[in-house]
Amino acid sequence: MLTLREFLRDTRGRLGKVGAPEPRLEAEVMLSDVLGVPRHRLYAYQDDAIPEEAVEALEKVVRRRLEREPLAYILGHREFYGVDLTVGPGVMVPRPETEMLVERALLVCLERMDRAGLVVADVGTGSGGIAVSLAMHLPGVALYATDISAEALEVARANVEKFGLGPRVTLLEGDLLQPLPGRVDVIVANLPYIPSGRLEELQPELAWEPRGALDGGDDGMGLLRRLMGQAAGKLADDGVILLEIDPGQGETLRRLAGRLFPGATTSVEEDLAGLERLFVLESR
Ligand SMILES: C[S@@+](CC[C@H](N)C(=O)[O-])C[C@H]1O[C@@H](n2cnc3c(N)ncnc32)[C@H](O)[C@@H]1O
């Protein structure tokens, strides 16, 4: 017999030993998922025995996780901005830091709600988390979600359909802004921005994720630069560009913006850890 308390304690220890970053949280998420009990309710049943079939299912999950396969791939879903997104190999696992980009994009759109037919593009949509979250909170807005990966777009499509957003989120396959049929008011993007040489130094979980979703080239900024170049022809007057960035990339983008969008205002915003996380451009 294995109680919930014992599972949580043992699993926390096993995950901690291999260096998994959030062992306690992950042990709870596994248990909650397999038992179908909300995480905040688990502690009410701590001394109950876990049914035998569930113990076997949990052991399979733990073993895969000990190989550092991302938990979101093992369970097939991940919460992002309060939405339960389907995810799987072929698509990057949405990260909590990207919720800052969603918050900022919501603010930008709400400030412009007086404009009829506001159009937003989520570039490099991956699992579609940014586009889905924006569509859910902004009923009057039309969205395009682009990605170069057909596999990622399949996952994005599953998420768009799961939440009944099909009529408002148009998925387009292609390079950055090229597939967009016209100008858009807001461009939001969490594109690959990690310098190629740093990828090997990062958490082993990244090896499970598609390289094309992470690798930003020599200095990590290849795609960001190209996006800025394409944006000059795709951003509406008074449009806004919001880019998630790696700390240290803001100044290069500001200089580039100065050449491509003379007269635009730019800023670099920090996350809660005080790290540069967002580049914001408002064109005139
Ligand atoms: C860092 S992941 C982010 C995914 C998603 N936006 C998120 O925040 O979870 C970057 C995404 O950009 C896509 N991508 C890479 N190069 C691209 C390109 N040239 N054009 C469009 N999308 C691209 C990748 O396939 C991947 O889905």
Q: pLDDT tens-digit profile of 164-183?
A: 999 999 999 999 999 999 99
> In terms of domains, do 28 and 92 share one?
no
Q: How confident is the model at residue 30 (pLDDT cuts 50, 70, 90)?
A: very high
Our mutation pick for probing the ligand 1 site, out of 147, 223, 246, counting the most ligand atoms within 8 A of Cβ, is 147
> In terms of domains, do 179 and 237 share one?
yes
Q: Which atom of ligand 1 is nearest to the CA of 122?
A: 6
CA-based nearest residue to 101, from 181, 22, 191: 191
Provide the 10 A C-beta neighbour count for residue 113: 11
pLDDT at 4 over 90: yes
Our mutation pick for probing the ligand 1 site, out of 191, 227, 228, 242, counting the most ligand atoms within 8 A of Cβ, is 191
In a domain, 156, yes or no: yes
How far apart are the CA of 214 and the centre of ligand 1, in A?
8
Q: How confident is the model at residue 115 (pLDDT cuts 50, 70, 90)?
A: confident
pLDDT at 281 over 90: yes
pLDDT at 114 over 90: no
> In terms of domains, do 142 and 275 share one?
yes
In a domain, 223, yes or no: yes
Q: Which atom of ligand 1 is nearest to the CA of 149?
A: 25
Average pLDDT along the chain: 96
Ligand 1 pocket member 175 (CB < 6 A): yes
What pLDDT sits at residue 126?
A: 98
More confident residue, 209 or 201: 209
What pLDDT sits at residue 77?
A: 97
In a domain, 163, yes or no: yes
> In terms of domains, do 137 and 17 share one?
no
Q: How far apart are CA 170 and CA 161, in angstroms?
A: 11
Q: How confident is the model at residue 270 (pLDDT cuts 50, 70, 90)?
A: very high
What pLDDT sits at residue 113?
A: 86
> In terms of domains, do 108 and 228 share one?
yes
Segment 14-25 mean pLDDT: 96
How far apart are the CA of 10 and the centre of ligand 1, in A?
37
Segment 202-222 mean pLDDT: 94
Q: How far apart are CA 152 and CA 35, in angstroms?
A: 29
pLDDT digits (tens, 9 = 90+) for 79-106: 999 999 999 999 999 999 999 999 999 9
Q: Name the closest-CA residue to atom 9, ligand 1.
A: 94
Q: How far apart are CA 32 and CA 30, in angstroms?
A: 6
Q: How far apart are CA 25 and CA 94, in angstroms?
A: 17
The residue range of the domain holding 198 is: 79-282
- Specify the number of domains making up the chain: 2
What pLDDT sits at residue 96?
A: 94
In a domain, 142, yes or no: yes
> In terms of domains, do 204 and 164 share one?
yes
pLDDT at 284 over 90: no
Ligand 1 pocket member 215 (CB < 6 A): no
What pLDDT sits at residue 75?
A: 98
Segment 265-280 mean pLDDT: 97
pLDDT at 116 over 90: no
> In terms of domains, do 100 and 172 share one?
yes
Domain boundary among 67, 88, 120: 67
Domain boundary among 40, 67, 94: 67
User: What is the residue whose two structure tokens read 């858009």?
Assistant: 184
Ligand 1 pocket member 176 (CB < 6 A): yes
Segment 14-24 mean pLDDT: 96
Our mutation pick for probing the ligand 1 site, out of 148, 160, 208, counting the most ligand atoms within 8 A of Cβ, is 148
Q: Name the closest-CA residue to atom 19, ligand 1.
A: 175
Query: Phi then psi for 22, rounded to 5 degrees?
Result: -130, 70
> In terms of domains, do 255 and 127 share one?
yes
pLDDT at 128 over 90: yes
Please provide the distance, in angstroms rounded to a whole number, between the alpha carbons at the two ends of the chain.
67
How far apart are the CA of 40 and the centre of ligand 1, in A?
33
> In terms of domains, do 105 and 149 share one?
yes
Ligand 1 pocket member 191 (CB < 6 A): yes
In the 8-state DSSP scheme, what is residue 50? P
> In terms of domains, do 190 and 86 share one?
yes
How far apart are the CA of 34 and the centre of ligand 1, in A?
30
pLDDT at 264 over 90: yes
Q: How confident is the model at residue 200 (pLDDT cuts 50, 70, 90)?
A: confident
Q: In what order do the strands lie in the sheet with 169-173?
A: 169-173, 142-147, 119-123, 184-189, 235-244, 276-282, 265-270
Q: Name the closest-CA residue to atom 24, ligand 1.
A: 213
